Amino acid sequence: MTQPLLDIRNLHLGLRLGRDLHPLLNDISFQIMPGEAYGLVGESGSGKSITSLAVMGLLRKPLSVSGGEIIFKDRNLLTLPKREMRRLRGKNVAMIFQEPMTALNPLSTVGRQIAEMFILHQGKNWREARRLAVDSLARVRVPNPERRVNDYPHQMSGGLRQRVMIAIALACDPDLLIADEPTTALDVTVQAEVLKLIKDLCAERQTAVLFISHDLGVIAAVCQRVGVMYAGCLVEENSTDRLFSDPQHPYTRGLLGALPRLGGRLENGRQRLVDIDSIITDRSILTKTRCIAPRIKEGSTP
Amino acid sequence: MFIFTIRRVLQTIPTVIVAALIIFVIFSVVPGTFATSLLADGKRAADPQLIARLNEELGLNKPLVERFATYITNLAHFNLGTSFRTRQPVINLITDRIWASFILASAAMMFALIVALPLGFIAALRPGSIVDTATMIGAVSGLSVPEFWLGLVLMYIFALQLNWLPSFGYGDGSFQNLILPAITLGVAPMALLARTTRAGVLDVLHSDFIRTAHAKGMSDVKVMRWHVARNALVLIITTVGLQFGSLVGQAVIIEKLFAWPGIGSLLVDSVAIRDIPVVQGTILVIVLWFLAINTAVDLIYAAIDPRIKQG
Amino acid sequence: SGEHYGGTLIFTAPYGSNFATLDEQASPNTQEELIAQAIHRALYSWDSTQNKPVLELAASEDVSSDGNVHTYHLRKNAIFHNGKPLTADDIVYSYKRIANPKNAFPGASYIAVIQGANEYIAGKSPDISGLKKIDENTLEITYTGPIDPGFSLMQNTTAIYPSNVKDESSFATHPVGLGPFVFKAHVPGSQVVVEKFDKYYKEGKPYLDHINIVLMAEDATRDVAFRNKEIDVSILGPTHYEIYQKDPALKDHLLEVAEVYTRGIGLNPALKPFQDKRVRQAINYAINTPLIVQRLIKNKAYPATGWLPLSSPAFDKNKAPYAFDPAKAKALLTEAGYPDGFEFEVTASPNESWGVPIVEAILPMLKKVGITVKPKPVESTVLGDQVTTNNFQSFLWSIPSGPDPLSAMRCFYSKTPQSACNFTSYASSEFDKLFEAAEQERDPSKQSDLLREANNLVQDDAPYWFFNYNKAVMAYQPWVHGLVPDANELAIQPYDQIWIDEIAPASRK
Amino acid sequence: MRFGFNFWLGATLTALVIFAGILAPWIAPFDPVFNADLMNSELPPDATFWFGTDAQGRDVLTRTLYGAQISLTVGIVSQLINSLIGVTLGMTGGYWGGWWDDLVSGLTNVMLAIPSLIFALAVLAVLGPGLPSLLIALGLTNWSWTCRVARSSTLSLKSQGYVQAAKILGYGDMRIMFTQILPNMMGPILVMATLGMGSAVLSEAALSFIGLGIQPPSPSWGSMLTDARQLIQLAPWIAVFPGLAIFLTVLGFNLLGDGLRDSLDPHMRTRKP
Amino acid sequence: MTAPILRVEDLHVRFSMSGGSLFGSSRHMLHAVNGVTFSLAKGECLSIVGESGCGKTTTALTILGLQQPTEGTISYRGQPFTGPNAPTRMQRAKAVQMVFQDPYASLNPRQTVRKSLSAPLRLHGITAASEIEARIEVMLKNVGLTPEQANRYPHEFSGGQRQRIGIARALILEPEIVVLDEPVSALDLSIRAQIINLLLDLKEQLSLSYLMISHDLSVVEHMSDRVLVMYFGEVVESGGWQQIFQTPAHPYTRRLIAAIPNVDDRISTPPNPKSRDLIVLKNAEFGTDTRVTPDVFRPPSQSKLIEIAEQHWVRISSV
Ligand SMILES: Nc1ncnc2c1ncn2[C@@H]1O[C@H](COP(=O)(O)OP(=O)(O)OP(=O)(O)O)[C@@H](O)[C@H]1O
Ligand SMILES: Nc1ncnc2c1ncn2[C@@H]1O[C@H](COP(=O)(O)OP(=O)(O)OP(=O)(O)O)[C@@H](O)[C@H]1O
Ligand SMILES: [Mg+2]
Ligand SMILES: [Mg+2]
Ligand code: NI
């Protein structure tokens, strides 16, 4: 087996309030291979976003990592000097955020915001950078890229803006792309296009993807492997096919059952959706004993 | 942009008209008339004949509606009327002094900006730190000291004790004379501005695109320069405009204290002797100044913020 | 005696932050007189050593036997700043301009002493009949009676302007006069600069090259500027008077004078209690006037003994003021039927020496005899308005009471309208008799005796609470010489006599 | 809601001033008006007169305590008037929109453009000096900010689900404004009001400087301070104590307002897990 | 199925947008809803799907009386719901209610649950405290909350619970029709199921009619009886849920369905072989190329609805 590109080992992360530390992530470990798309699913607040922010080194004040390692290409990102980390960010590890509306500076042209990447990481001057920005826009299939570089974000539709975000993220051919719910704000049809774009672009240059979503359908469309998070724990991990056809952890099972499936409704009459609460009768048990229960790992059977 | 400018300028016209109406009505019902103020100084008999003649001469015996009609007609011809007291066109009296007002307000605003922007930025970058608390308490203190006391104290310290600066007046319009009144006038906007800057910068720092910028691998300095500064400016500039616009009107007390020949002291003196055309003209000019500044701010705003023009 | 020539004097104008106009004829205010004194001259002027008006622009005058007609032989060496020599035409022109009904100038009431002026002012006559040019240098003026016209025609508002200026409105911006200094510059709201006039008619004068008359209305500012040696003279308020007296560096350069203003509370007989003389006297007895003068006004005033002020020729040095005697006040009130006192309002301006602070001080004193006082603060403008329209219960004001004692006492003559200085609607047949006699009396000392008697009558009748006569105080820098204590208005100084010596700082040279 | 240090400091200062004002008749050692003895004028602080006496011989401590009544009245009542006008106009303008909104916005702009001190001066000149006039003058002049805030809050609240729901449930416009919108925008309005109280106290001082302040002999800090400016060298205590009182009150109001704003602002809220 | 209780006929809603000219007098018309016609039967769940901005919410708001229609009529049980004889807000409230998308913004943060539920009752003339209590209790039970929770404020509830409160508020006046605007899209996946189940249960229990707006097609398929597909203000296809999901005709509908990422794509045996069994119309007949965004400022081009199967309508170009 090849070396994993990203290797998160026993990551602990918490909220530091004064002297106390409220744990938010408990002992998270997973790997992503080069060229692989890894999905993280889980309910809201389970810690998906903070995991990704930890990888990016963008955690803000009250949040802090309290243990574990994040190994990226043999280097522990948690102990990397600030400047090194900065150089890595954007160039080797790039990120797409959820809200394409607010993630772009409303006062700069999209061209400029893409061009910044080339200036920061490739030492280009503004003119060259702008030319490269046009190319980047073309690569994410924005029609009329020459004209569009001069647009401001508010002049673009949600789908186009998300493409710009992707263009920024992929500008410097990163090894790892983190996409935190990149399509939640988009219409289904637009979402489908964006997902396909991410998939194709990453396949083209073997970019590894950490894909976060709570929409299982989206994960299914993009990822090869999936991790399920619940209350700060990675409760199950498996290849996408296996996970969906044979979920092990009660939470995962609940998730799958709770989802109305297209074409799943019987001709006359419908089946009730599974109520997760009815499976996990006492949610607090899961929370309390969270990562203590043996995690259901790939290949293992309970 | 051109159309936007024209439209923005035209929009101020109703404001000016309503302001003129309010000013006119208020100062028409103010008790005391120019004639009695001129003739009843106790030095000699207030000759009722003379008062009547003066009132007739000044048109004060005409009905209010007629006076307003004349006033508006004159205004439409850019004529602010003639001063009762000096019998000169009001516009001349104002132009004589507007420059002093302008440089005082500008210097005060300069001072406010130079001090407030860095302080606000620093406070926002380290919220909750000692610098932040100190800045904010300092800013609030600046808002809690009556202007004339601040002026007096500065005067005692810098003119009398240290003998660094002249204590009063316009002199020959030199910079030295400007310093103390400008600082006194600038303290309140400075305090407000420091707070707005802090809030504005914090707001920007919390926005998602700053996270994007960091995710691009940008250094803090570059983030500041490329993304925070300009966006915060948009939030700050409204306050700057409102403050700058109202400075001329607020300078009344400082002009009196420092014997500064601006239109504020002209106004107060004119109110005292009920020289109503001057009062109306001066307030109208102050209103116009405010509107001009704020229109300019809106235009700047539109120039930096591409979302506005679509309006 | 060692007078120096040259240098700049920095004078202050303390009565506002503005010179309303440079056209002195159009201005009734002291503020503009500060400039007029440098630029203009009137037919008469006030001689502060003799304490009476003297001829200024005429070398001599002949008075007719009935005292009504004066023939003036004008100075031959008087030249206007625009080069025109003074002639009788200029005086006729100026007086007609002042009285012109179109202009409605405040000085018109002074011109009214000339025969025919009232018809002219009313627009009924194209000329003032009493003004007659004999030749270029001789002018005959007929007055309405055997009065001393000097008191009226020395006023700065009766300044003489050249008759050859086409555009009269230019007087408001570029004044031209006969005075020792030529107008040089006006920075509105800041200062007026005047420059020595080489052809001034008085030999060897003026001494100064320049005078900067700077506007400075705020006492505290003036104090700092004076101590900082940025200005050469400063008019002092009570507190600074006390401070300067205590300061060894400053106390030797204070100029004091008893000014001809009487301050007090005028009582309106329309309010019932005030109709009773005993009530009015009780008020005078109940207030510790010297204490207020001493503590609140810091002795920057003289307790009043009556209406006529200290510097008035008819002032009675032997007359005692009302004593501070609350018991007597109480008794008088009881006698008058107000054993429990009553309540009244004092309309007053914010002035520190004759305004609301004084009312605040008498308030506890009158409370002790059972009278409740309520201050009614108004703006200075409104005060004048309300007093002259008889719209008050009582008012606290500062009223000119000189220099001419006759016109000062006219304010109590029953035929003087309320609006024209008989503010308390005073009417006493006894007084009227004395006053009419004084009016007819041509012998100054006998006239003074009559007026003194009338004044004492008024004091006894107490239509006012007699408070104080102003003491004007001016602080000046040690290098300034030639200032005089002018009882009319201390701030108005004879600029042509002022000089500064070599210890003056470089900025004055 | 969690309040920061600033809020508590501000609240303490404000509470102190309020208590001083309420308790003045009991805790003040003398009468503020009639205990004037010129024999005692301008005494420095001593055992009898803790804060010294003023030019009239009145106890400065007493007058400073009573001054709290006036200054607080000025601050609170003028802000009440401001808020009432501002909220009424702003809320109805924002809610109904249309020509009424245009009118309200226009009027707000006019009021912003006319310098408030001068407007207050004019109103005072018309009504004559005195406390009621002062309250009206200050109350009429500074509502434009409140109005703007109220209007924009209303605009954003208007589209909130619960306001829509109220409409669908059959609530009338008035009822919606009073039960749904008003309570939810009280936060920013309160902040505006507390900040405005500070500036009202200062405006009173400024108007005293021009001679249009509080009707004497009632003590107000502004007029005490104005009267004392001549005496700064002779009897500094006359100025220092009311000056300090103004400073602390305005500081208190401002910190209170800031504290309120900070705890209302989601950015400043520290999230609890 | 019973006779329709709500009928919407040829509904047009246009917004005038001020343009950028000198005096702002040139106005564009934004055609938000163009000739929408449908009816809702008692006990039925009718869903409107379509992409963002196609006029779904506007249609719903018009029914609720929060938006005036530019043209067209709405009638409820034969009574006009629009025009001069339209009922007042109070009268309308008993007929139609709404459940909002965002459970956080849809509850007044300063009112307790009890207050939120009792105020409308009082407003509608139910003043007896006991009756109010009783109705609140029943309603809370219906939506799966306990009466004790009534005294709490909204921020003390989770998103799912809030949505339950929102539903309770909508039902407290016992309306016949409930408009559901994206009732679950803001909810967490695990809670979504509960709310969907609850809505379906309540519908049965209280025989409600739902007008649901959603762009989550799997939810739509799960819940609806009939589906209306909207595209830029127009209905492009309507029919029973099976017709829309199993035999979609209009290319836009097909694209919509195809775009949904589905877990089942990963699972080797599709559970329902009948799905995606599309009938084929020639693309040209639809006239609209759904890949090019139509101009909302222009009236739509000529087209008409044709019935291709029983109660299955598709819009085709009429030129
Ligand atoms: N800045 C912060 N301060 C305090 N707590 C935080 C902060 N950011 C996140 N948290 C907490 O960390 C936990 C995990 O948050 P995270 O944003 O990673 O969830 P998520 O799985 O991404 O949820 P969602 O699907 O809603 O985006 C939550 O309980 C959240 O409240
Ligand atoms: N009050 C309004 N003024 C102007 N335009 C409006 C207004 N309300 C809606 N629109 C416009 O009408 C169109 C239809 O809006 P509507 O809210 O009905 O869409 P929707 O289908 O509900 O979209 P979404 O799925 O995003 O909620 C949009 O283009 C919208 O911008
Ligand atoms: Mg997240
Ligand atoms: Mg919608
Ligand atoms: Ni924000």
Judge contact between A59 and A50, C-beta under 8 A.
yes
- What is the residue extent of each domain of chain D? 5-28+49-264
Least confident among B108-122, D80-94, D149-163, E293-307: E293-307
Sorting pLDDT into bands at 50, 70 and 90, what band is C80?
Answer: very high
Sorting pLDDT into bands at 50, 70 and 90, what band is E38?
Answer: very high
Sorting pLDDT into bands at 50, 70 and 90, what band is E165?
Answer: very high
> Residue C12 forms beta bridges with which residues?
C214
| Mean pLDDT score of chain D | 81
Q: Report the candidate in D153, D176, D148, D175 with the shortest Cα–Cα distance to residue D163.
A: D176
Whether residue A213 is predicted with pLDDT greater than 80 in this model: the reply is yes
Cα torsion angle, C412, C417, C420, C423, sign: positive
Q: How far is D166 from chain A (nearest CA, A)?
A: 28
Contact D271 A22 (CB under 8 A): no
**Helix or strand holding residue E58 (H, E):** helix E56-64
Judge contact between C90 and C163, C-beta under 8 A.
yes
Sorting pLDDT into bands at 50, 70 and 90, what band is C38?
Answer: very high
Please tell me which residue, B101 or D35, carries the higher pLDDT value. B101
**Which of D41, D58, D134, D207 is the best substitution to test chain C (most C C-beta atoms within 10 A)?**
D41
Least confident among B45-49, B85-89, C491-495, E11-15: B45-49
Task: Count Cα atoms within 13 angstroms, Cβ side, for E286.
Answer: 21
As its CATH architecture, domain D5-28+49-264 has Orthogonal Bundle (1.10)
Measured in Å, residue D263 CA sits from the centre of ligand 5 at 14
Domains (range + CATH), chain B: 1-90 (no CATH), 92-304 (1.10.3720.10)
Measured in Å, residue E101 CA sits from the centre of ligand 4 at 9
Contact D169 E100 (CB under 8 A): no
Taking residues B292-311, what's their average pLDDT?
77
Q: What is the pLDDT of residue E24?
A: 47
- Among the bound ligands, name the one nearest to the CA of residue E33: 2
- Global confidence as pTM: 0.81
The predicted-structure confidence for A157-168, as pLDDT tens digits, reads as follows 888 888 898 889
Task: From chain D, pick out residues whose CB is under 8 angstroms from the CB of E88.
Answer: 170
Please tell me which residue of chain E has the smallest CA distance to B3.
Answer: E22
DSSP 3-state of E135? helix
Q: Within 10 Å of residue B21's Cβ, how many Cβ atoms?
A: 14
Q: Which amino acid, D188?
A: P
Please tell me which residue of chain D has the smallest CA distance to C223.
Answer: D230
Asked if the C-beta of A241 comes within 8 angstroms of chain E's C-beta atoms, the answer is yes
- Among the bound ligands, name the one nearest to the CA of residue E56: 2
The predicted-structure confidence for C9-24, as pLDDT tens digits, reads as follows 999 988 877 888 888 8
- Site to substitute for ligand 1 among A15, A95, A211, A233, most atoms within 8 A of C-beta: A15
Highest mean pLDDT among B173-177, B217-221, C42-46, E26-30: C42-46
Q: How far is D270 from chain A (nearest CA, A)?
A: 9
Select the residue of E218, E261, E268 nearest A220 (Cβ to Cβ): E261
Whether residue E143 is predicted with pLDDT greater than 60 in this model: the reply is yes
> Residue E27 forms beta bridges with which residues?
E18
Contact B3 E24 (CB under 8 A): no
Q: Is the peptide bond before D217 cis (omega within 30 degrees of 0)?
A: yes
Percent of chain C with pLDDT strictly greater than 90: 32
Whether residue C170 is predicted with pLDDT greater than 50 in this model: the reply is yes
Q: What is the pLDDT of residue C92?
A: 93
The predicted-structure confidence for D189-222, as pLDDT tens digits, reads as follows 887 888 788 888 888 877 876 667 776 677 888 7
Whether residue E209 is predicted with pLDDT greater than 90 in this model: the reply is yes
Q: Distance from first CA to last CA of chain A, Å, rounded? A: 25
Task: From chain D, pick out residues whose CB is under 8 angstroms from the CB of E106.
Answer: 160-162, 164-165
Sorting pLDDT into bands at 50, 70 and 90, what band is B158?
Answer: confident
Can you state the angle between helices B276-304 and D98-113, rounded to 10 degrees? 110
The predicted-structure confidence for D95-151, as pLDDT tens digits, reads as follows 998 889 888 988 888 888 887 877 887 888 788 777 888 888 888 888 888 898 899
Sorting pLDDT into bands at 50, 70 and 90, what band is B18?
Answer: confident
Task: From chain C, pick out residues whose CB is under 8 angstroms from the CB of B155.
Answer: 220-221, 224
The predicted-structure confidence for C414-464, as pLDDT tens digits, reads as follows 988 887 788 899 999 999 999 999 988 878 889 889 999 999 999 999 999
| Mean pLDDT score of chain A | 82
In CATH, which superfamily holds the domain spanning E4-18+28-317?
Answer: P-loop containing nucleotide triphosphate hydrolases (3.40.50.300)
Contact C364 D39 (CB under 8 A): no
Contact E98 D164 (CB under 8 A): yes
Q: Which of residues 224-243 of C touch D (CB under 8 A)?
A: 237-240, 242-243
Task: From chain D, pick out residues whose CB is under 8 angstroms from the CB of B23.
Answer: 114, 122
Please tell me which residue of chain A has the smallest CA distance to E187.
Answer: A44
Please tell me which residue, E24 or E221, carries the higher pLDDT value. E221
Whether residue A37 is predicted with pLDDT greater than 80 in this model: the reply is yes
- Among the bound ligands, name the one nearest to the CA of residue A41: 1
Q: How far is C319 from chain D (nearest CA, A)?
A: 26
Asked if the C-beta of A45 comes within 8 angstroms of chain D's C-beta atoms, the answer is no
Percent of chain D with pLDDT strictly greater than 70: 92
Sorting pLDDT into bands at 50, 70 and 90, what band is D246?
Answer: confident
Taking residues E232-254, what's their average pLDDT?
86
Please tell me which residue, E204 or D58, carries the higher pLDDT value. E204
Please tell me which residue, B49 or C73, carries the higher pLDDT value. C73
Whether residue A284 is predicted with pLDDT greater than 60 in this model: the reply is no
Task: From chain A, pick out residues whose CB is under 8 angstroms from the CB of D270.
Answer: 17, 62
- Among the bound ligands, name the one nearest to the CA of residue E181: 4
CA C115 to each of CA A160, C118, C139, C155, C438: distance values in angstroms, whole numbers, following the listed order: 96, 8, 14, 18, 22
Any residues with Cβ below 6 Å from ligand 1, and which?
A 15, 24, 42, 44-50, 60, 62-63, 214; D 271
Q: What is the pLDDT of residue A70?
A: 92
For residues D207 and D129, what is the distance between their CA atoms, to the nearest angstrom? Answer: 10
Percent of chain A with pLDDT strictly greater than 70: 88
Sorting pLDDT into bands at 50, 70 and 90, what band is D186?
Answer: confident
Backbone angles phi, psi at B166, to 5 degrees: -65, 150
**Which of D153, D159, D168 is the best substitution to test chain E (most E C-beta atoms within 10 A)?**
D168
Contact A90 B219 (CB under 8 A): no
Sorting pLDDT into bands at 50, 70 and 90, what band is C28?
Answer: confident
Contact B218 A108 (CB under 8 A): no
**Which of B216, B226, B308 is the best substitution to test chain A (most A C-beta atoms within 10 A)?**
B216
Select the residue of B7, B309, B310 nearest E22 (Cβ to Cβ): B7
Measured in Å, residue E154 CA sits from the centre of ligand 1 at 21
For residues B39 and D148, what is the distance between their CA atoms, to the nearest angstrom? Answer: 46
Q: What is the pLDDT of residue A285?
A: 47
Judge contact between C371 and C274, C-beta under 8 A.
no
Whether residue D249 is predicted with pLDDT greater than 70 in this model: the reply is yes
Q: How far is B120 from chain A (nearest CA, A)?
A: 20
- What is the residue extent of each domain of chain E? 4-18+28-317
Asked if the C-beta of A56 comes within 8 angstroms of chain B's C-beta atoms, the answer is yes
Asked if the C-beta of A161 comes within 8 angstroms of chain B's C-beta atoms, the answer is no
Q: Report the candidate in C313, C263, C284, C294 with the shortest Cα–Cα distance to residue C50.
A: C313
Q: What is the pLDDT of residue D264?
A: 66
**Ligand 2 binding pocket includes E167 (Cβ within 6 Å):** no
Judge contact between A211 and A184, C-beta under 8 A.
no
Whether residue A302 is predicted with pLDDT greater than 50 in this model: the reply is no
Whether residue C176 is predicted with pLDDT greater than 90 in this model: the reply is yes
Asked if the C-beta of A274 comes within 8 angstroms of chain E's C-beta atoms, the answer is yes
Q: What is the pLDDT of residue A181?
A: 86
Measured in Å, residue C421 CA sits from the centre of ligand 1 at 84
Backbone angles phi, psi at C410, to 5 degrees: -55, -20
Asked if the C-beta of B72 comes within 8 angstroms of chain C's C-beta atoms, the answer is no
Q: How far is A139 from chain B (nearest CA, A)?
A: 19
Task: From chain C, pick out residues whose CB is under 8 angstroms from the CB of D225.
Answer: none
| Mean pLDDT score of chain E | 81
- Two structure tokens written together for C279: 């009530």
Q: What is the pLDDT of residue C218?
A: 82
CA E92 to each of CA D96, D122, D168, E178, E202: distance values in angstroms, whole numbers, following the listed order: 21, 52, 8, 12, 21
Whether there are 3 or more C-beta pairs closer than 8 Å between E and D is yes
Contact A24 D270 (CB under 8 A): no
The predicted-structure confidence for C283-318, as pLDDT tens digits, reads as follows 999 999 888 888 888 888 899 998 998 888 888 888
Q: What is the pLDDT of residue C451?
A: 92
Whether residue E292 is predicted with pLDDT greater than 60 in this model: the reply is no
For residues A106 and C470, what is the distance between their CA atoms, to the nearest angstrom? Answer: 70
Select the residue of B219, B222, B227 nearest A105 (Cβ to Cβ): B227
Whether residue E23 is predicted with pLDDT greater than 50 in this model: the reply is no
Whether residue B45 is predicted with pLDDT greater than 70 in this model: the reply is no
Q: Within 10 Å of residue A4's Cβ, how many Cβ atoms?
A: 17
Please tell me which residue of chain E has the smallest CA distance to A261.
Answer: E218
Whether residue E210 is predicted with pLDDT greater than 60 in this model: the reply is yes
**Ligand 2 binding pocket includes E54 (Cβ within 6 Å):** yes
C120: left (phi over 0), alpha (psi -120 to 50) or beta: alpha
Judge contact between C305 and C316, C-beta under 8 A.
yes
For residues D75 and D200, what is the distance between their CA atoms, to the nearest angstrom? Answer: 5
Task: From chain C, pick out residues whose CB is under 8 angstroms from the CB of D129.
Answer: 377-379
Whether residue C492 is predicted with pLDDT greater than 60 in this model: the reply is yes
Q: What is the pLDDT of residue B283?
A: 87
Contact D169 E64 (CB under 8 A): no
The predicted-structure confidence for A43-92, as pLDDT tens digits, reads as follows 888 888 899 999 998 888 788 898 889 999 888 988 888 888 888 888 89
Q: Is the peptide bond before C403 cis (omega within 30 degrees of 0)?
A: yes
The predicted-structure confidence for B180-205, as pLDDT tens digits, reads as follows 889 999 998 888 888 888 888 888 88
Q: What is the pLDDT of residue C439?
A: 85
Contact C350 D211 (CB under 8 A): yes
